[in-house]
Amino acid sequence: MIVLPTTPQLLRDVRNELAHTVAPEVHGAVARVALEQIDIILEQCAVRSADEIAWMVEEIAEMLAYADDVAAATGDEATAAALVAARGNAAGTLHLDDMAHDYTLSSEALSCAIEACMADPDRSDLLRRGVEILRLRRAERETVVRANWRLVGRG
């Protein structure tokens, strides 16, 4: 497998070609909007392809560890069941489809754990930890992946 140039490098080269070779020849308003949207999506794909497998591996471990702590502290049945499902049904490979599947299962465990903490006023510290996973891990990485995103073509 030829790994260099990397996928992000190839995608950004396509962006460059579209911007400097194709775009100047495109004059219709609808097509120009589509080109601008394509440019944004290509950059988002470049960012994702560089890191998404590593990020999912990290986040799955973090989500399951958090859900373990919540299940131990609260005895919440939904969280415990989601943990069993996440571990029992995990595909366990680094292939993208498998990672997405495992990430979804782990996300369900995180959801259940946060809901259990919301329902229990004595678990505010654990709730804060869960919300920080949403805010500082997921949302911040999603912000990186949004890249140059904007709602082009409106109004």
> Which residues contact other proteins by CB under 8 A?
29-30, 32-34, 37-38, 40-41, 44, 63, 104-105, 107-108, 110-111, 114-115, 118-119, 130-131, 133-135, 138-140, 142-143, 145-146, 149-155
The two tokens of residue 121 are: 């006023």
Nearest approach in angstroms of CB 116 to other proteins is 10
**How far apart (Å, rounded) are the C-alpha atoms in residues 100 and 29?**
37
Nearest approach in angstroms of CB 10 to other proteins is 18
Which CB atom, from 12 or from 111, has the smaller least distance to other proteins?
111
Residue corresponding to tokens 């080109």: 35
E strands, 2-67, where?
A: none
Which CB atom, from 95 or from 150, has the smaller least distance to other proteins?
150
Nearest approach in angstroms of CB 33 to other proteins is 5
CA angle 48, 62, 124 (to 5 degrees): 120
Separation of CA 30 from chain center:
30
Residue corresponding to tokens 């678990």: 123
96: Cβ–Cβ under 8 A, 6 or more apart, which residues?
Answer: 52, 53
- Judged by DSSP in three states, 95 sits in coil
Nearest approach in angstroms of CB 54 to other proteins is 18
Nearest approach in angstroms of CB 13 to other proteins is 19
Which CB atom, from 3 or from 64, has the smaller least distance to other proteins?
64
18: Cβ–Cβ under 8 A, 6 or more apart, which residues?
Answer: 35, 38, 39, 42
